[in-house]
Each structure stands twice: as C-alpha cells, then as structure tokens.
Amino acid sequence: MNEAFRAGHVAMNENPPDYQVKGKRGAQLFEIRSRLATALHRFSVDDKISKGWPTSRRLGILSDFPFPPIRRLFHSLWLCLPSTARVYFYRFLVRFGAWLYGPTGAVLVSRVPFGLYIKRTTRSGLNEPNALKLVEQYTSIPAPRFVDVGNHGNEIYLVMTRVPGQQLRHIYHLMSYTERNRLADDLADYISQLGRIPNTTAYMIGGTLGGPAIDHRMPNSGIGGPFNTEADFNNFLVSHIESTSARILGEENEPRNHRLVFTHSDLHWSNILMDQGRLSGIIDWECAGFKPEYWEFTKAMYAVMWHKDKEELIKRAFGKKYEKELEGERRLWDITPFGC
C-alpha cells in the first residue's frame, strides 16, 4: 500500500494557487520549493499509512452494554420521568460534556457521557428524530440510534447514540484504492436501502412526518413544501428568482417522472464516518425526507465539486445514472446559491 502512495496514489495538488513569480530564477526557486513541499507531504502521508488505522474506541455505557434487555428496561424507566426533568438533565449534560470533551466542531452538537450525543435545533423539529427511527426500522445502515427528544422553549433536544469513526474528510487521503472502492460499494448498498423505506405521509415530497422538506439546497432558508408533484418541487427551487424550472432549463431538460424516495439529502464528507478503513456510520439526518431519486446524487456531487477522484467515487456509488439531472442542477447552482 505504501508503494501505491509513492507512485501517486493521491493527487496532492489538485488546485494549485496561481502565484505570480517575477524572473526566471524566481520561477525556478518556486518550482523547487513546490516539488520539495509535495515530496515532504507524501512522506508524511506514507508515514501515517505505515502506522495503520487507529484502534477503535469504546462507544460508552449505553452503546456497549452487553445485555440489551436490561438496557431497554433502563431506557423505558428513564422515559417514565417527566419530559421537563429529562430535558433539564440533558442541558446539564451539554454543559458537562463541553467541559469534559471540548468542542465537537458543530456548534449545536455536543458529545456527552454514556456514549451519547445531544443535538439542539430549532429548524428541523421532529424530522430528524423520526428519520433515525425509520432508518433503524427499515435498514441496516449504521446511524445514530434514537434515544429521546424533548424541548426547552423553541429548542429541540435530540439525544442519540454515538457512532464510531472519523469523518471521511479527515482521512480520505489515507485510504487505499481498495478501501475507496469498498466505500463506494457500501454507499451504493445503503442508498438502495434508503430507497425502500415506505412513505406513509400524505405528501409525495417533504419531511419524514409529512411536513415541509428541509434542505440547504432550497430557498426560503432551506424549508419548503410539502409537495405532491415533482413539478411543484422544481418550481419552488427557483421561486425566489420569480421564474420556473422549465423556463430556466427548458421543458425538455426539466426533471420529471422520477421515483420519489427516502433520501439522507446531505452526504457531505463530514457526515460519513470511517473506522478501520470501512464505512462505519452516516450522521446528521436533519435534511432527510422524501425527494426525487436523483437528489441524493446531485447533493453528494455538490459536496465534492472540482475533485475528480471524489466525483468518480460518488458516480461509482450511484452507477452514473443521473448525468442529465446533474447538468441541470449545476446550471441552477450558478443562479440559486444554497440557502438563499
């Protein structure tokens, strides 16, 4: 594996800065410096590879407890307490967890004792808790398991189990080609499983409970709908610029007649966790809901824009089925920035 990296396993300088260097000697010195820096970086990566993947860490009391019936009994007894008392304890855990573990990198997500995480939100309401329940009920996808939910004023407290692993964005450059291909295949399996989750709501496109769809890609601060046709969804995407999807893309290119399926809707590389070179978890289900089948693909492609090797990994996972839809979405991205 080390030899693969020495032979150019990773593109180390995909988007080099356009420096202006005056004079022939200055350009030569800059070229030498650039090559030396690249070589040193490759040696650094090679050294990390030679050490292998770090040992998996224990998840915590609730995740590791060896007797599921006792764990379920404890959970049931805990839920018998008044919601206000439980939320008061969760607020304490958030403060204690910040002192014990430090920041998580996400302002509203806190690691707390007992192998748990607590997420606070005012936007998605009960959409994410229900998404976690659906994923646990209908799939084998490694995702946080729902523990409890409560509110303090307008703020929702979602309590869930911790998932092992490191964010893909931090360790992708350490993965071998075999591990990357296996990641793509695992993603393909999980995406297929998501597509089989039944929609029992009254709407074709929307949140997991039949409420508005939540997505960073959409206007109106990322909230809209629910919708009963793909055409209504398409038009909402450009509603803030007083136009229609067909007018911008042309009627022949407007997305239509797609299956409407359950999607995670935010397969950003910070939401994919890896452990020992394998996909170990998918987190942050805030934007999950029922949307056109191509949506998972185009959103994932947005997250790896301009990185050809990463784009190929995503295309391997989806089978390169939605190239026309991707072309249309890229045109819309230029005129409808995310979250506007």
Q: What is the tens place of the pLDDT at every residue in 223-270?
A: 999 999 999 999 999 988 877 787 888 877 788 899 999 999 999 999
Which of 81, 46, 58 minimizes the C-alpha distance to 174?
46
Give Cα 3 distance to the centre of its chain: 31
Highest mean pLDDT: which range of 1-10, 24-33, 214-223: 214-223
Provide the pLDDT confidence category of residue 46 given band limits of 50, 70 and 90.
low
Q: 212 phi and psi, to 5 degrees?
A: -60, 150
Q: Do 159 and 168 touch, CB atoms closer than 8 A?
A: no
Give Cα 264 distance to the centre of its chain: 7
* Least trusted range by pLDDT, from 103-112, 201-210, 238-247, 278-287: 238-247
SS3 state of residue 95: helix
Residue with tokens 């998918």: 282
**Tell me, what's the pLDDT at 11?**
47
Q: Tokens for 147?
A: 């523990």
* Top-confidence residue, 142 or 338: 142
Query: In CATH, what is the architecture of 61-161?
Result: 2-Layer Sandwich (3.30)
**Tell me, what's the pLDDT at 14?**
47
Question: In angstroms, rounded to a whole number, what is the distance separating the alpha carbons of residues 172 and 14?
Answer: 14
Q: In this structure, is the dihedral angle defined by the CA atoms of residues 33, 36, 42 and 45, taken in order, positive or negative?
A: negative
* Least trusted range by pLDDT, from 89-103, 250-264, 291-305: 250-264
Provide the pLDDT confidence category of residue 72 given band limits of 50, 70 and 90.
confident
pTM, two decimals, is: 0.82
Question: In angstroms, rounded to a whole number, what is the distance separating the alpha carbons of residues 336 and 229?
Answer: 21
Q: 220 phi and psi, to 5 degrees?
A: 60, 45
The pLDDT tens digits for 153-208 are: 999 999 999 999 999 999 999 999 999 999 999 999 999 999 999 999 999 999 99
Q: Do 121 and 155 touch, CB atoms closer than 8 A?
A: yes
Domain ranges of the chain: 61-161, 166-335
Provide the pLDDT confidence category of residue 60 given band limits of 50, 70 and 90.
low
Provide the pLDDT confidence category of residue 97 given band limits of 50, 70 and 90.
very high
Q: Does 10 score more than 50 pLDDT?
A: no
**Does this chain's domain 61-161 share its CATH topology with 166-335?**
no
Q: Which amino acid is at 107?
A: V
Sequence-distant (6+) residues with CB within 8 A of 159 are: 90, 116, 117, 118, 146, 147, 148, 149
Query: In CATH, what is the architecture of 166-335?
Result: Alpha-Beta Complex (3.90)
SS3 state of residue 271: coil
Q: What share of the chain is helix, strand, coil (3-state, %, to 5)?
A: 45, 15, 40
Share of the chain above pLDDT 70, in %: 80
